[in-house]
Structure 1
Amino acid sequence: MTQLDDSTMVDLGPPVAATAPVPRPDASGLASLEARSISAWFGDHKVLDRVSLNMPAGKVTALIGPSGCGKSTFLRILNRMHELVPSASLAGEVLLDGRDLYSAERRITDARRQVGMVFQKPNPFPAMSIYDNVVAGLKLTGVKVSRGDRDDLVEETLTKAGLWKEVRDRLRQPGGALSGGQQQRLCIARSLAVRPRALLMDEPCSALDPTSTRRIEETIAELVHEVTIVIVTHNMQQAARVSHLCAFFLASQGTPGVIVEHGPTSAMFDHPRDPRTSDYVHGRFG
């Protein structure tokens, strides 16, 4: 369902032709994500108001802001997880290389395959082996891969996630037996196995120790050459370390979340245009 204002709900119709030029795929083959005028509701409660943001190909975009300002909701909208909530509705468009992820002819499974998600809490299938965790998404998305190719894919994605050397001799052991940081990297490998064009990360290091956090950040730096990344983080030092661009979300009491300011991370931290941005990134509130 799509809610056009605070009282009217209609079914999603055919995609409306964009008035802005449709972006071409990046020359490197990486995908760009763009949100246009996204508003979101849970029942009658409006949580985002006309949020627009361009997330360029091959870059890490960090979503920052206090709790409750709609960052995670916005992230879930980018791969159609918002609609899993029965009372949820939204207005606006999400474009992956200019194509609307919410268009009527687009399958939800295809949208979620192309835009993967890594959650705040590591969620491997605990009784399933490390190997089977990595390839689990293939069955869910209907991708058929030969046994030999699966073996290569497991090694490739675990290597990209920075985990291969640690687990290559115990691939048949349960994924749930790994440490928290290893489980999170296993989840990254599982997301990469279906070849997403963009990867969303919702506070992926919030439950991890400093050493595991550093490994995840190193993984992000390596992956961005192959997949466009959008990350929610409350850690300003982490945002400064890993992201190329930042978007600062804020919700005043009783009002939906909006983007106060967005731009290159260095400018957001060193020369913000809005005093509220300066106050937030320098720890004066939030």
Structure 2
Amino acid sequence: MTTTAVMPGNVPAGALPPDAAPLEARAVSAWFGERKVLDRVSLHMPAGSVTALIGPSGCGKSTFLRILNRMHELVPGATLAGEVLLDGADIYHHDRRLTEVRRRIGMVFQKPNPFPAMSIYENVTAGLKLTATRISRGDRDDLVEQCLTKAGLWNEVHDRLRQPGSALSGGQQQRLCIARALAVRPQVLLMDEPCSALDPTSTRRVEETIRELAAEVTIVIVTHNMQQAQRVSEHCAFFLAEQNTPGHIVEQGLTQRMFHRPRDPRTEDYVNGRFG
């Protein structure tokens, strides 16, 4: 299920989304049982921009992404150390409610996951019920149109909102999941390889959606597609786990510099396809 962000209460029409917020990891380490999978990862993800996480499979990118909205702790035996700051406040502080964090930091997964028993309309508004958000029917209709428009899907589905969301194509389902995430007004949207299961045309449309949303919500995306990382992101972090060591960040910075003037030879080798 995609998780997202809003405070319970009334949502005025036309209030999508709130200001994007910066996200920062400070010395984050993670374990699954006794196995350490991340070692002191620090990364600043600027507000209103796209940060791409790149690196070979198994280097901890998806684990790091799930730490950013407290999904890591759902895994039995999983532990972590360090801080994750959303707009300067630690999301792991003992007085921060898990539901509040998940409302403010949404997630879109690798495989599109619309709720199969719900219509397109109901999929978009599902998060309102989960977050106990009260909204009038007229405002709800406006919100559905607004979210689907921002996800680049309204023109394709506006005349069949009561049809099942699962009947859409793969690319449309992924954009429906993005719309569902936006409906509860997140400040940050995490995306775990959102185009890996899509055809090139659907990938292009999802990438266009990411670029259009970037000024309004902070986006962090895991991708194995180097061309995609260059197309959609302003900032980039290269993760690597070498010789059974935990994953760590080799290099981070502006995407164009990382791809064209990397400081570390391992970064140059990876972005040019020499390994991974």
Alignment TM-score, normalising by the size of structure 1: 0.90
2:173 to 173, 178, 183: 183
CA deviation after TM superposition for structure 1 residue 140, in Å: 1.1
Please show how residues 27-106 of structure 1 align to structure 2 within 5 Å. 29-106=19-96
Alignment partner of 1:117 is 2:107: yes
Q: Could you tell me how far apart the structure 2 residues matched to 1:82 and 1:150 are?
A: 32
Shift in Å at residue 98 of structure 1?
Answer: 0.2
Pairing 1:259–2:249 present:
yes
Aligned residues of 1:65 and 1:249 also touching (Cα < 8 A): yes
- Select the residue among 200, 203, 206 that pairs with 1:213: 203
State the Cα distance separating 1:30 from its structure 2 match.
Answer: 2.2
Residue type of the alignment partner of 1:102: Y
Q: 1:149 aligns with which of 128, 132, 139?
A: 139
- Looking at structure 1, the residues matched to 102 and 20 of structure 2 have their Cα atoms a distance apart, in angstroms, of 16
AA in 1 matched with 2:227:
Q
Q: Distance in 2 between matches of 1:48 and 1:224?
A: 27
1:172 and 2:172 correspond = no
Extract unaligned runs of 5+ from structure 2: 1-17
Identity of aligned residues (%): 79
Distance 2:127 2:225 in 1: 30
Cα distance in 2 between the residues matched to 1:262 and 1:139:
39
Q: What CA distance in whole angstroms lies between the structure 1 residues aligned with 2:189 and 2:250?
A: 24
What is the aligned length?
259
**Structure 1, residues 205-243: CA drift from partner, whole Å, max 9, x if none?**
000000000000000010011100000000000001000
Aligned partners of 2:67 and 2:134: how far apart in 1?
28
Contact 2:26–2:83 (CA under 8 A) maintained in structure 1: yes
Q: What is residue 138 of structure 1 aligned with on the other side?
A: 128
Partner of 2:189: 199
Q: Once the 2 structures are TM-superposed, how far is the Cα of residue 253 of structure 1 from its aligned partner? A: 2.2
Separation in structure 1 between the aligned mates of residue 137 and residue 102 of structure 2, nearest angstrom: 24
* 1-structure distance, mates of 2:23, 2:164: 35
Q: TM-score w.r.t. structure 2 length?
A: 0.93
Q: Which residue does the alignment assign to 1:10?
A: none
Q: Does 1:250 align with 2:243?
A: no
Once the 2 structures are TM-superposed, how far is the Cα of residue 29 of structure 1 from its aligned partner?
Answer: 3.2
1:228 aligns with one of 203, 212, 218: 218
Q: Deviations over 1:141-161 (max 9, x none)?
A: 221111111111000000000
Q: Using CA pairs under 8 Å that are at least 6 residues apart, name the structure with larger relative contact order, 1 or 2.
A: 2
CA RMSD of aligned residues (A): 0.8
Contact 1:110 1:141 in 2 (8 A): no
Task: Please give the per-residue CA displacement for 1:174-204, whole angstroms capped at 9, x wherever unaligned.
Answer: 0000000000000000000000000000000
User: 1:152 is matched by which residue type in structure 2?
Assistant: D
